[in-house]
Structures are given as C-alpha cells and as structure tokens.
Chain A
Amino acid sequence: MMITILLIPIVTAILCYLLRNHRLIGYVNLGGAVILSIVAVPVIVSAIASPIGHSGMFNGMFYMDALSGYIMAMVIFLGLASSIYSISYLEHELNAGLIDIKGLRRYYALLHLFIFTMLLVTAANNLALMWIAIEATTIVSALLIGLGFTKRKLAIEAAWKYIILCTVGITFALLGIFIAYYASIAIVGTEGALNWTELKGIAAKLNPSTMRLAFIFILVGYGTKAGLAPVHNWLPDAHSQAPSPISAMLSGILLNTAFYGIMRFTSIVEPSTGSVFTGNLLILFGIISIAISSIFILVQENYKRLLAYSSIEHMGIISLGLGIGGPIGIYGALLHILNHALSKPLMFFASGKIQAHYGSTKIENVNGVLSSMPLLGILTFIGALSLSGTPPFNIFISEFAILKAAVDKGMWHVVGLFLFFAVIVFYGILSGFGRMLFGRTQNTEDRAQNTDKESLSSGFWFMASDLIMVLMALLIIILGFRIPDFIDGTIKACINVLGVK
C-alpha cells in the first residue's frame, strides 16, 4: 500500500502534463489529490498504531512509523489544500496573462512531483534514500518557483539562490551521512547499515566522536533546508517570489520534512553522544533563528516576506523544543509543527488573494482588507493572531509547552531570550497585518478596477478555495482550545518512536 501512495502523485503528474485543456487538468489535479488522501488514510492510521515495513522488492527501503505517518498526513493534507487553491489561483493568473497553458501543465505536473518527493522523504527507511528525496524536493520546488510564470525576473533570482544554497547545504548533509555510515558499518557491516530500523538498535554502540561530527554536518545541511538561521538567506526570497500555493507548501511542510530528517538523526545520535551535545546545538540554532527573524519581522515592508521570516522564527521554535527535549519539549515541538503547518499556509493562501486583489505585496499599498473583503479579512486576522502566538490560538499552546519544558529544566536564559524575542515578533506581525486589515478602503478609481478583477475570480473554485481556508481556520481555533485525542495519541506515539523518556 505504501508503494501505491507513492505512485498516485507520479501518475497524476504525468496525466497533468499530457492533457491540453486547462479545466481538465484542474480536475485531474484535484482528483489525484483526493484519491491520494483516501488511499493514504488507512495506511497512516495503521502506521501510527504499529510500525509497518515493506517486504518484497523494496525490502528495507521503505518504512513507516508514527512519526513518518504524522508528517505524511500533513504533506497529504496540504497537498490537497494546495491543489484546490491552485485551481482558482491559476485561473486568475491565466486570465491575467501571467501564465500560459504550457506553464499551467508544467505547474500542475511539478506540484504533484513535489508532493511525491516529500512523501518519499517520510516513507524512506534508508538515510541516504531520504537524502536523495530531500535533494529532489529542492530541484522540483526550484522549478516551481522560477519557471512557468513569464516575465518574472525576481523569481529567477530567488530560485537561483534557493537551489545553490540548498544544494551546497545538503552536500554537507551527505558528508554527514557518509560519516554516519562509516560509524555504523564498523558495528553491523554493510548490510542495511543506513536503515533507521537497523540504526535504532545499535545507536548506543556507535562511536560518539564520529557521530558528533556527523551530527554537525547533518544539522548544518538539513538546517539550511529547514530555514534555520544563519543559513536561512534563501528562504525569504523563495517564499516571497513563489506562487502563493507553492509558498504555502514550502513553508507549511517542506521545511518540516527537512526538520523531520534532523529529528530522526538526533534520535540516532543522542544515545551515543548524550543529549547535552545535540540539545545545546539545537537550542543555539533555534535562538539565533528566533533572534534574527524577529528583527527582520519588525522592519519588514512586504507581507509575503514578513510571513517568510515568521517561518524562520517558527522553525527556530521547533528546533528549540527539540533541543530542550524531554517528553514535554518534544511534545511542544511536534505540536508546533502541526500548528505551523495549519497557520502559515492559511496566511499564504490569504496573501495570494490579497495580492490578486490589490496587485501589490507592499504592506503600505494594502488597506482595509476587513471592510472590502470581510471573510478574507477575518481569516487573515485569525491567522495573524495565531502566528503571533496570541492565546487562545493553537500556536500559543505549543509555545507554552516548549516554555514549560525549558522552565522545568531550569534553562532560565533560554526562557528569557525566547520571551523577549516572542514579544518583538508579536508586535511585528500584528502591527504589519493590522495596517493591512484595518483602515479605509482604497479610492473609487481603484475600486472600479477591483470589481473587474473580482468578477474574474468569482465562481465555484473561488468558493472552494475559501472553504478550505475556513476549514483551516476552524482547525486553528479548535486546536487552541483542546487537542483532540487522536492527535494527542499520535504525538505521544511519535515521542515513543523518538525514544525520549
């Protein structure tokens, strides 16, 4: 069944590329995403209950447990959300002449390939196979950022930076994997020496100094991909220049798949080196990310870039949670991954609509979203409150859990720094989006243009994309009040998988 999950996006991608009618491509894209979610649900549920491997030809290559199921569920959910949102988004771009039918075919094909590569990351049992998948996500998403849309100079610049920086970073990660392989064949021999299932058993016996070196390379390598500062420079450019549904995927889940690699690797390294070494490095990277991003959030004038910096901040918080460790810290980090994967895509979806309506990504050019587009305004408001960590929204809960873990361990310096920068981020995000949401709408001349645009983007798919955003906002609110039992159970199973006591 795991192979079926991996095959569906590939088939969808091929179909999307072969078809010529833009409406039909949209339906195929949606159909592929829906079938994928239907097929995946039972597999993920069973993977969370007990780990599943794969026998037969790919023996030992693929493997799923609670943690991979958890991340895979997010990939599939966001894949579905993005394919629904893409239909109306691309229809608008097609009508505006920003993309032609060839670009459209390429876009949908690449979107599903992108989903495939991320699914491969979560389903890989082999460290190196996972590396291959992560590198493949870079290649595919760079094409999504830079190509397809004509006359976009800046997108090419962003894509170039993205692919060069991430490839260099990930090259170091491969070196780290080589070193880990070197450490593990000393104990088990070459057979399956890179498989999680194998490594988990022998983790305590691996040579600590070799593993320490491997961890540094892996953290720098995958950290580049996960957007941890100070190797984050590609992220704001790529996120702000990508088409909005792709920004949502990049920020909501791509960063998390890279971080998933770090989490897995940490659980292998920790038994031999002790948790202080890995924890301190993760905390250091986390604090630097939060600090740098908070300053940029404060002075940001472009709302898509503001959201991108906010992603860096949240990846920093996840890194902090993982670094502080202990059941509560890891619980907070895992919950934060989910919360961020809901709030950030919602905001990117909303910003895509705002951009289509106002034709600008500058904060100063956008005024009175709440009065001109009430539903979109409310959704944006919910997203902004959630991202800034305001209670009673979801992100507050996970940030609170991470803070509690830090207090329990007596890491007062971490608590102090985190709170200080969290306040800056709170002000930065709310003042930025406050200026956009409130205030008077534009003058009548602009209005006339806008009604013209709106008639283009109304219709069934426009409603469908609104619906998916409302669903995400509802999930944000629900998660703020109560964590449903099945999510709670899943996260606890993940903690078990990571071997934290």
Chain B
Amino acid sequence: MKNWIGAFSVIDFISVGILITAVAMNALRRLESCVKAYTLNSWLLSSLIAIVAFMMGETHLYIASFVTLLSKGILIPMFLRRIVKQIKVTHDVDPYISNALSLTISGILVAVVYTSLKEGIFVAGFSKNVLQISIAVIFIGLFIMITRKKAITQVIGLLFMENGLFLAGFSLTFGMPTVIELGVLFDMLMGVIILGIFTIQIRRAFASADLDKLTILKG
C-alpha cells in the first residue's frame, strides 16, 4: 500500500485536486456550486492528511484528518447551504470582473507563487509541490474575496484561504499539536457561523445580499 502511494504519486494528485477546486471557483456561476467546490476541497484536504498519517504512522494526524472532515467537510458546508437557501439567491455570483479575466488572473497568481517559492524556504516534507499549492490556494481565496459582490462568496473565499493555510501549516510542520488544532478549528467554525448570521442580517437590513450597498461608512 505504501509503495502504491509513492508509485502513483497520490499525494501530488490530491494536492493538485485541491488547487483545481480553488481555481474552479473563478468559473462557477451559482452559489450552490461554489459551496460544492468548497466541500470537495475540504474532503481532498482531509484525505490528504489521512494518507500522510498512514504513510508516517502517526495517530494524531488521523485525528486531525477526522476533525477536518467533520468541521470543514460536513458542518460548514451544511451551514453554508442553509444560508444560501435562506437568502434566496441561488443564481449569479455577480463578480466585479468577467470569468475569463478572473481565471487568467488566478493562473498568473499560481505561476507567480511557483516561481517565487522555488528558491524560498526549503521544505523537508513529503512533497515538493504542496507548499506552493497551499500558498496559491490562499491567494486565490483572497482574490475571490476581493472580486465578488455577494456577502456569502466572501465567506467562501475566506474558507478557501483557511483551507490553503491548513495545507501550508501541514506541509511545513505536519500539523500542530491536537489541542491547538481543535482550538483553531473551533474558532473557524464559530467565525463562519457568525459571518452567516451577519449575512442574513445584511440581507434583512439592506434588502440585498450584495456588499456594494455597504458603502455608507467611510472617511
């Protein structure tokens, strides 16, 4: 089994899958598909951690993988789907820029990350590509946050950033101690729930789920 993982470079395949689901966010038009892309991304992240746990034979990584699956793969997507239903806008993500342009920019982001991290910190981890991919996912998440109008898409962008961050932390250090990891995930879960509450509040107070109405406070 271990040889099999190495021979077919499963880890690289999964991490590329993580990158592709993030890039796909640029092309998706419906909010529901965005949530699906995020779910897939989290499952891939969790399975990556599980495979590395298997390779290294570390118990605490199995726990990390399970907790990731539970929170990011099941609870948060469920919650997001409920919000999407409540705000009643399933169609049209309404980006500020066209899909083609945003795909191009994400591609450039990935390329920039790859070239600039070539000679950067040396990672003695399990794969050469994982750190680059994780940083690229962080930047794509940030880019999605900047270019989308809907409040809920900003939340999804933030979640992608956090997935990328987890991957980065994981590739650098094989994860934090379990207690800490639990704390971070708990914070994230609470954060998403509260952002969800605010999304619904914005919908109620401004009669719109778009953020370009939120420009009263300035200066």
Contact = CB atoms under 8 A, between A and B. Distances in A.
Interface residues of A, number: 46
Contact of A168 (B145, B169, B177, B205): B145
A157 B191 CA distance: 16
Interface in B64-118: none
B184 to A, nearest CB: 6
Contacts, number: 110
Interface string B166-209: 00110011001100100110110011001101100110011000
A154 B216 contact: yes
B154 interface: yes
Interface residues of B, number: 36
Contact of A139 (B177, B194, B205, B216): B194
Contact of A132 (B154, B161, B169, B180): B180
Interface string B3-29: 000000000000000000000000000
B169 A174 contact: yes
Contact of B154 (A143, A164, A175, A240): A164
Contact of A178 (B173, B183, B190, B205): B173
Interface string B136-159: 001000100100000100100010
Contacts of A164: 145, 154, 158, 195
A158 B217 CA distance: 8
A160 B187 contact: no
B145 to A, nearest CB: 7
A163 B195 contact: yes
Interface in A394-412: none
A178 B121 CA distance: 13
Nearest to B194: A139
A174 B161 contact: no
B203 to A, nearest CB: 10
A342 interface: no
Contacts of A237: 217
Nearest to A157: B214
A178 to B, nearest CB: 4
Interface string A265-302: 00000000000000000000000000000001001100
Contact of B180 (A129, A142, A146, A158): A129
Contacts of A139: 187, 190-191, 194
Closest 9 CB pairs of A and B: A178-B169, A132-B183, A182-B172, A128-B180, A237-B217, A135-B187, A153-B205, A157-B214, A156-B201
Interface of B: 121, 138, 142, 145, 151, 154, 158, 161-162, 165, 168-169, 172-173, 176-177, 180, 183-184, 186-187, 190-191, 194-195, 197-198, 201-202, 205-206, 211, 214, 216-217, 219
